[in-house]
Amino acid sequence: MSAARKGRNILGDVILDVTEADFQARVVDRSRQVPVVVDFWAEWCGPCRQLGPALERAATAREGKVDLAKVDVDGNQGLARTYRVQGIPAVKAFRDGEVTSEFTGAVGPAEVERFFDALVPTEADELTSRAVGDGDEASLRRALELDPRQAEAARALARILLTRGEAGEALTVAEGFPGDFLAAGLAARARLSMNGGEHDPAFSAWDRGDHEAALEDLQQAFAAADDSDVRDLIRQAMVGIFTELGAGHPLAREHRRRLSLAL
């Protein structure tokens, strides 16, 4: 038995030698509790021996937050077929029983670290997850201090500030997330609120969860507005509501159609 294999057995709960017999329990079922990275490898594979130590270091550094399962493809060809392993090393990450990300080949240590980082929530992620539901403003602010790119925390904090009438700070918090339509909608709402507050009844309806009233008011405001910049801000706010509702929601579909016709 190799030194590496002995090391894996010693680590036990973090780095696992897995076979077809225990794959369901140690990978699929386990991934419902923590992410599990599976390394499909073979003893004769040079790139596998090159990649293995980087995977093991990454898993050990995140003990308790992610497991590493080593599957020898020579002895577990059924698993290799099931998960469509075409070449090795093949690395697949499981969460909630499903493969969520993967790569093939011996990548560098920095890329291995990024792969693991994407699976393990950061402190900012964990703070945000706890804070969003109960409106913990202090935790949301701390999350953004730790990671200014934490869009979910920014959206939640902006909503708190907007409902409190602090549109200027809300704008500072919400802008700067390109491609995030809800953040852009909140930023547009902040600008509209700073520009006289005539749309605040629609935004109050939004805050109390009356999306139908909010969208109807904004449709009327869009049709009545003469200024192209104001119209665009109203449009962005509506798109933010569409995003919050979800693309398939009947209200989002109806008002997106009406907005398209009015453009």
Q: Which residue has the tokens 């003469």?
A: 226
Q: How many CA atoms lie within 13 A of 207 on its CB side?
A: 17
48 labelled catalytic: yes
45 catalytic per annotation: yes
**Do β-strands 90-95 and 98-104 pair in parallel, antiparallel, or remain unpaired?**
antiparallel
Q: What is d(CA 62, CA 14) in angstroms, rounded to the nearest whole number?
A: 9
The catalytically annotated residue of 14, 45, 119, 188 is 45
Kindly report the CA angle at 213 between 212 and 219, in degrees rounded to 5?
90
Catalytic one among 15, 27, 48, 186? 48
Cα(251)–Cα(142) distance, integer angstroms:
35
β-bridge pairing 90-95 and 36-41: antiparallel
Active site residues: 45, 48
